[in-house]
Structure 1
Amino acid sequence: MTSNALKPLAIAVLAASTTGLTGCFSSSSSGGDSGSLSLGITDAPVDSLEEVNISFTSITLNHSNGERIEIELNEEQLAEQPIDLLTLQRGNAASLIADEEVPAGEYEWIRLNVVDNQTFPDMYVVKEDNGGTADLAVQSARGLQLSSGFTVPQGGSADFTVDFDLRSAITDPQGQDGYFLRPSLRLVDNSEVGAIEGTVFSNVISNQCNENTSFNGAVYVYEGQNAEPIDYNSKTDKEPLMTAAVEQPESGGELNYRAAFLTEGDYTIGYTCDADDPDADNDLTFTGTRNVTVSANETQTEDFDGSQ
């Protein structure tokens, strides 16, 4: 079990530059103290889909004093989207706004506003089995809203990432057309996060996975030590915090995983090759379950070699 310095985050290059994605806030503010806000997005994997495309229109911030700040994207910036969230895994992130000047102080919530799918058909998924497409709509009337509070320091800067957990966020309702996106999001302070990564050796894969499938399983991450590994549909507060896909690196070698943007603290991890339907109660089999402590700006290495 080793720990090493956290690798720099690989930034997914959007068609638009970071500057191009940055709008200006419009509110009733008459000035006063301010700070800067940077916001990126990242993603955890989902089975059965090759692409999950979303187009953002603006970002809404709700200050604790009741002021509502809108950071809008213009038509030219809209045309350079959508963003495929499935390209933003393993610690990769895309910048939405960078060093945007906003009023300093406490904020109660943040909302990512997306296009109206009936007007701009830029919200869609691509299926893995046949390459077909299907519409994607936001399920909640409040949009993609996070109730996590945060602070923008006076004269300072705040840098956050919104983590989309698509395995629990994407749903395919029976009897209805298209897919829904639930607001399964978490907001993390980039100055307080680390990562867990490691190898899942071939003997573990062969013992757990069906030899007739290309699915190599996933590593589930739970908050706290000695957490009971369960599926996504348990309807309790003990559900997985996130998952990390087990994949073959482009350079070859053993299959591995990387779970990033984890706030420093204690976690439980476990590997499974069972499919997890977020709309059903699944009985998953885990192997190599153990406790891991994450420190800010460090990567903890935890391999699954079949010895646990």
Structure 2
Amino acid sequence: MKAATFGQVTVAALTASLLAACGGSDNNDDSVSQTATFNLGISDAPIDAAEAVVVCFNAVELTGQGQPIQYEVGVDVEVPAENDLCRDSNGDVIANTIGIDLLQFTGSEQTQFLQDATIAAGNYGQLRLVMGEGSYASVDLDGEGTTTDVPVSVPSNELKLDGFTADAGGNLNYTAEFDLRQGMTNPVGQEGFILKPRGVRLVDNSSVGHLQGSVSEELLLNETSCEVAPADLTTPVAYIYLYEGVGYELSALADIGGSEEQQPYASTAVYFDGASSYDYELGFVSAGEYTAALTCNGNDDSETDDDISFLHSVDVTIEESNQPQTVDFEPVTTQ
């Protein structure tokens, strides 16, 4: 797992994903045709500004079929048992809460959060993640190698995501993807981080893919803003930003919170492997055409329009697959 000294970037390049199960079926058995099976897992992509991000979950709630349906930690068998990662200010374990360190489940990996839940077929207006108290990020505030646990809070203790349709007899797949570079902020004058729902999106897991690749050292050496072969392998050397659509000029690509026309879909950090490779990964990306852009500027505050200079871009077609596809960044050659 990658981690790095905490600098001006609030929390950089984390994507966390939650899987739900839903989908179509040809089952004509009337005894099961009015229900669907629902499963939920959690996953993320590497982060470059923390050694741990423990998010405390209390329940999953579905709305749109009469009264909200809620599956609570420590109460319902469909969710995992509570653990001792979430504690109050006195150090006591918070009941009915499970803490999940998102950095333990990167890329296409996940941990099961809701399993074999039977839900009524129909339209659901929202999927809500009900958060418990005690969430925190472990960061190196002074760059001396000692981490401090900084509280993470969620407005109203709920993350409200988009809805979905559960087909009769079906088995649906969705991913709620957390991009903390967009959703987590550290307001001036306020202790700790705030996790906002704008950095979370719900995507159909039957139509997503995963992206990985490397950046050529030669390409990095051509740019004075890039660091090559750092001694500290937890230090990002560059960043990959992903934009929906292709054929964009680099000048049209916005940073997170930027004013340019094309807003980023997701982003992640590039790390040196200690030998010869500079690698990145992005999980749970909706299938489609994208522009992947490279920058060595890491100071991207999600609340401001920062001066981010993109060095190179590649057009990418993300295909539906459980296996990551590889897209590498190489120097542009001219004939």
Q: TM-score scaled to structure 1, two decimals?
A: 0.79
Find the residue that maps to 2:331 and give its secondary structure.
coil
Give the direction of change, closer, same or farther, for the CA distance of 1:38–1:236 in structure 2 (3 Å limit): farther
Indicate if the aligned counterparts of 2:245 and 2:289 stay in contact, CA closer than 8 A. Answer: yes
Q: What displacement does 1:159 show?
A: 2.0
Q: Which ranges of structure 2 fall in alignment gaps of 5 or more residues? A: 1-15, 17-31, 85-97
Instruction: Confirm whether residue 193 of structure 1 aligns to residue 176 of structure 2.
Output: no
Partner of 1:25: none
Instruction: Confirm whether residue 106 of structure 1 aligns to residue 123 of structure 2.
Output: yes
Q: What displacement does 1:273 show?
A: 1.3
Residue among 126, 130, 137 paired with 1:125: 137
CA-to-partner distance for each residue in 1:170-205, whole Å, 9 max, x for gaps?
111111111111112111222111122211111223
Partner of 2:39: 38
Partner of 1:6: none
Indicate if the aligned counterparts of 1:264 and 1:296 stay in contact, CA closer than 8 A. Answer: yes
CA-to-partner distance for each residue in 1:61-103, whole Å, 9 max, x for gaps?
012x443111111178222531112233322222211221111
Indicate if the aligned counterparts of 1:55 and 1:123 stay in contact, CA closer than 8 A. Answer: yes
Aligned equivalents of 2:104, 2:226: Cα separation in 1: 25
Indicate if the aligned counterparts of 2:244 and 2:265 stay in contact, CA closer than 8 A. Answer: yes
Indicate if the aligned counterparts of 1:197 and 1:301 stay in contact, CA closer than 8 A. Answer: yes
Q: What displacement does 1:266 show?
A: 0.9
Indicate if the aligned counterparts of 1:53 and 1:82 stay in contact, CA closer than 8 A. Answer: yes
Q: TM-score scaled to structure 2, two decimals?
A: 0.73
Indicate if the aligned counterparts of 2:33 and 2:169 stay in contact, CA closer than 8 A. Answer: no
Give the direction of change, closer, same or farther, for the CA distance of 1:32–1:70 in structure 2 (3 Å limit): farther
Give the direction of change, closer, same or farther, for the CA distance of 1:101–1:166 in structure 2 (3 Å limit): same
State the percentage of identical aligned residues: 31
Aligned equivalents of 1:142, 1:131: Cα separation in 2: 25
Matches within 5 A, 1:148-159: 148-159=162-173
Indicate if the aligned counterparts of 1:44 and 1:243 stay in contact, CA closer than 8 A. Answer: no
Matches within 5 A, 1:266-285: 266-275=289-298, 276-285=300-309
Partner of 2:286: 263
Q: What displacement does 1:50 show?
A: 1.9
Partner of 1:15: none
Q: What displacement does 1:40 show?
A: 2.0
Q: Which amino acid aligns with 2:241?
A: Y
Q: Which ranges of structure 1 fall in alignment gaps of 5 or more residues? A: 1-11, 13-30
Instruction: Confirm whether residue 220 of structure 1 aligns to residue 241 of structure 2.
Output: yes
Find the residue that maps to 1:49 and give its secondary structure.
coil
Cα RMSD of the aligned pairs, angstroms, is 2.6
Q: Which amino acid aligns with 1:77?
A: A
Indicate if the aligned counterparts of 1:268 and 1:291 stay in contact, CA closer than 8 A. Answer: yes
Residue among 107, 117, 121 paired with 1:90: 107
